[in-house]
Amino acid sequence: MAARGKHRRTRTSPLTRGIVAVGTGGAALTLPLLGATHASAAEPQSAPAAHSVKQAAQPAKSRTYTVVKGDSLAHIADKYDISGGWKQLYKDNRAAVGDNPKLIHPGLKLKVNTAKADAPKKTATKSSAPAKPAAKPAGGVAQATQASAKTYANNLDGWIRESLDIMAQQGIPGSYDGIYRNVMRESSGNPQAINNWDSNAAAGTPSKGLLQVIDPTFAAYHVPGTSFDPYDPVANITAACNYAADRYGSIDNVNGPY
């Protein structure tokens, strides 16, 4: 890209004397117990009240978390109370995340060793009323939830497709082929690519990312809802396509350095 414009007991109480009531039909016969040391057979054990039963907290579990848009390692570590915070989360997932802990993408699978155990289930009692079904959400909420559940592959194909969906929402023109062709020419599909030798680099603003955008261009054409990290593939693609649309009409019209 050209420099121009880039931007969870049974009581055995000892007794020395005791009284046991034996049923005789309609009356009770009272017998003294002498020398008894334990009332182990004197009274049947009653089950403890259901509400007094406590379940042991479940041990911490390892689970798989799928990254969604807007996530960061710090947010995920705080959400699951991970010992060691985001640094430990990054350490456990470095092979998947790569060298840049700030660069995580929707659809990425992370191993989460959470210190938060699952909440213990409540023991039902006879007096417990059946749970009421959750209220049906309004149509708008349901639609928003469904839309936010869409995931993309954490690779060049997924980045381009997510970018195209964002571009469609923002009215930015461009096609898969146009983006792919320019990405391969500019960075060969490497989101960490940086140009340290051209005139932009000499001016202190090297071109970065999949579509080699300089910082001033990225800032000026950044698309709302995407990351502010110029190395983020989706943010880089959408900002570059926004710039290309403004300057050339569409990224599809770019066939060389721009």
Task: Give the per-residue pLDDT at 102.
Answer: 79
Task: Give the per-residue pLDDT at 232.
Answer: 97
Helices (H) and strands (E) in the chain, counts: 9, 4
Stated pTM of the model: 0.46
- Residue 155's Cβ-side half-sphere holds a number of Cα atoms within 13 Å equal to 2
Instruction: Please give the DSSP secondary-structure letter assigned to residue 27.
Output: S
Answer whether residue 3 is part of any domain: no
Q: How far apart are CA 165 and CA 171, in angstroms?
A: 10
Task: Give the per-residue pLDDT at 207.
Answer: 96
Domain around 182: 152-253
Answer whether residue 222 is part of any domain: yes
Q: Are residues 108 and 184 in the same domain?
A: no
Answer whether residue 6 is part of any domain: no
Answer whether residue 126 is part of any domain: no
Q: How far apart are CA 140 and CA 256, in angstroms?
A: 43
Q: Are residues 156 and 248 in the same domain?
A: yes
Answer whether residue 217 is part of any domain: yes
- Confidence class for position 141, pLDDT limits 50, 70, 90: very low
Q: Are residues 97 and 181 in the same domain?
A: no
Q: How far apart are CA 144 and CA 140, in angstroms?
A: 6
CATH of the domain at 225: 1.10.530.10
CATH of the domain at 97: 3.10.350.10
Instruction: Report the domain count for the chain.
Output: 2
| 214-246 pLDDT per residue, tens | 999 999 999 999 999 999 999 999 999 999 999
Average pLDDT, the chain: 74
Q: Are residues 79 and 156 in the same domain?
A: no
> Which is more confident, 67 or 191?
191
Q: What percent of the chain has pLDDT over 90?
A: 41
